[in-house]
């Protein structure tokens, strides 16, 4: 007899953007959603093989998707030193703890955007084989970067078209799920320039073509400089990470025509609300450098708002792992989107469920509580549409219909 799980709650948000359903339920059979909707419209299974969970005064949503993490990074004030000097064993154990911290926040799928070597692939496989409990992981392995470029210590430097094609082949051979490329320098790596591109359009296009040829993998491009965003968009990457609109010299350089181009090309912007989460915290929770950063966030938030208003599709992410961007604070990502980017709560929720799955090419599997998708769900107390802070109050998390987090603890 098939095993069935029935989840009932005061409210169901299915992740597709459809209005919430009062008195909702989801039926999961053998790990897959068989039915979802209003209780009165469903024929709920009964019997000894059915596990029924009831959640009055709660909202039932699809398991969340964090579209950008670094599971092997420590999130400490010296995250760079840790990433360079810690042993592989330490990195991997840290990755387990971090993956489980995300799961406790309701994140049942995450995309890891780069770490040292191929350790995240081992972590991904250990979870998918059931050796340890954790979210599904889409792993990039090592990001492709230039010699001395952003996150070069992860281990994959490549310069010129031939070398980036070879790097892409090496990653695909190892079994990565997508390709992460550093299209500009980054703040975490001294000696790189976040205000300048690292690769040309031709180099990036070669990566996109090779990733597509070898199994239809998508490419995520880390972009702070406006010139780097332009290169990545022209090259045909799927997602632009950060999208910081940095001018080559100082301040910002917003380009409305590039926003139009992003819409035309169907690019997604990954809103990595990581360090930005500091904007929600009180001064005594922040390090000195964060207080300075928060004071300067105005233009950054303004340009992301204009990017979104221009019609660019956006998805939600934490960038957890970089300094002071912790894995157990995922709900704050959604709060920043609502509070500082003027995104309505339903849109923020879609950006971490249905639309995130679509962007990452996994909409056949996850992202919505509709028949045929995996039975991944999160239950929170209250109504996140009325107050997005409800996402902090996670009651239960399910993966493939199985209870994996109960009252904030791994089940």
Interface characters, 91-120, with Zn ion (x: CB under 5 A): ----------------------x-------
CA distance 304 to 28: 38
- Spatial strand order of the sheet with 179-182 comes to 179-182, 219-225, 239-246, 268-272, 313-317
Interface characters, 295-334, with Zn ion (x: CB under 5 A): ------------------------x---------------
Please, what is the minimum distance in Å from the beta carbon of residue 319 to Zn ion? 5
Type and span of the H or E element at 7:
strand 4-12
CA distance 353 to 335: 15
What is the phi/psi pair of residue 321, to 5°? 120, -35
**Using the rule CB under 5 A, is 203 a contact of Zn ion?**
no
Please, what is the minimum distance in Å from the beta carbon of residue 238 to Zn ion? 16
Please, what is the minimum distance in Å from the beta carbon of residue 107 to Zn ion? 16
CB contact at 8 A, 326 and 319: no
Please, what is the minimum distance in Å from the beta carbon of residue 70 to Zn ion? 6
Q: Look up residue 257 and give its two tokens.
A: 């025509």
Sign of the torsion angle spanned by Cα atoms 373, 376, 378, 384: negative
Please, what is the minimum distance in Å from the beta carbon of residue 24 to Zn ion? 35
Please, what is the minimum distance in Å from the beta carbon of residue 68 to Zn ion? 6
Burial of 76-107, coded b for 16+ CB within 10 Å and e otherwise, reads eeebbebbeebeeeebbebbbebbbbbbbbbb
Centroid of chain to Cα 203: 25
**CB nearer Zn ion, residue 165 or residue 267:** 267
> Which residue, among 223, 130, 134, has the nearest Cα to 182 in the 3D structure?
223
**CB nearer Zn ion, residue 149 or residue 401:** 149
**CB nearer Zn ion, residue 276 or residue 319:** 319
**CB nearer Zn ion, residue 319 or residue 376:** 319
**CB nearer Zn ion, residue 61 or residue 113:** 113
Q: Count the residues of the shown chain that bind Zn ion, applying the rule CB under 5 A.
A: 2
**CB nearer Zn ion, residue 242 or residue 355:** 242
Residues lying near Zn ion in the complex (CB under 5 A): 113, 319
């Amino acid at each position: 007899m098939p095993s069935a799980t029935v989840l009932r709650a005061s409210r169901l948000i299915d992740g597709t953007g459809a209005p919430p359903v009062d008195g909702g339920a989801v039926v999961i059979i053998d790990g897959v959603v068989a039915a979802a909707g209003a209780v009165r419209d469903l024929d709920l299974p009964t019997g000894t093989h059915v596990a029924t969970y009831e959640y009055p005064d709660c909202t039932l949503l699809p398991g969340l998707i964090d579209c950008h993490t670094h599971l092997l990074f420590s999130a400490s004030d010296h995250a760079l030193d840790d990433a360079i000097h810690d042993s592989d064993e330490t990195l991997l154990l840290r990755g387990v703890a971090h993956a489980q911290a995300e799961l406790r926040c309701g994140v049942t799928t995450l995309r890891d955007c780069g770490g040292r070597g191929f350790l995240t692939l081992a972590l991904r496989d250990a979870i998918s084989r059931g050796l340890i409990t954790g979210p599904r992981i889409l792993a990039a392995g090592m990001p492709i970067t230039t010699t001395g470029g952003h996150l070069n210590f992860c281990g994959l430097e490549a310069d010129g078209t031939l070398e980036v094609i070879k790097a892409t082949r090496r990653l695909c051979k190892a079994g990565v799920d997508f390709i992460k490329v550093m299209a500009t320098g980054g703040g975490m790596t001294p000696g790189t320039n976040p205000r300048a591109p690292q690769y040309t359009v031709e180099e990036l296009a070669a990566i996109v073509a090779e990733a597509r040829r070898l199994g239809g993998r998508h490419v995520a491009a880390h972009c702070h400089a406006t010139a780097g965003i332009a290169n990545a968009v022209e090259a045909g990457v799927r997602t632009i990470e950060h999208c910081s609109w940095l001018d080559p010299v100082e301040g910002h350089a917003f380009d409305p025509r590039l926003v139009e181009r992003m819409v035309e090309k169907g690019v997604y912007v990954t809103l990595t609300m990581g360090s930005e989460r500091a904007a929600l915290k009180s001064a005594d929770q922040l390090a000195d450098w964060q207080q300075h950063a928060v004071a300067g966030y105005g233009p950054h938030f303004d340009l992301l708002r204009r990017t979104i208003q221009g019609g660019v599709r956006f998805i939600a992410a934490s960038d957890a792992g970089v300094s002071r961007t912790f894995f157990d604070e995922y709900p704050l990502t959604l709060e920043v989107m609502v509070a500082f980017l003027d995104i309505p709560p339903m849109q923020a929720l879609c950006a971490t469920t249905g639309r995130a799955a679509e962007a990452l090419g996994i909409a056949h599997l996850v992202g919505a509580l509709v028949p045929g998708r995996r039975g991944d769900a999160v239950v929170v107390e209250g109504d996140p549409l009325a107050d997005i802070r409800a996402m902090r109050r996670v009651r239960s998390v399910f993966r493939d219909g199985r209870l994996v987090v109960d009252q904030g603890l791994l089940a």
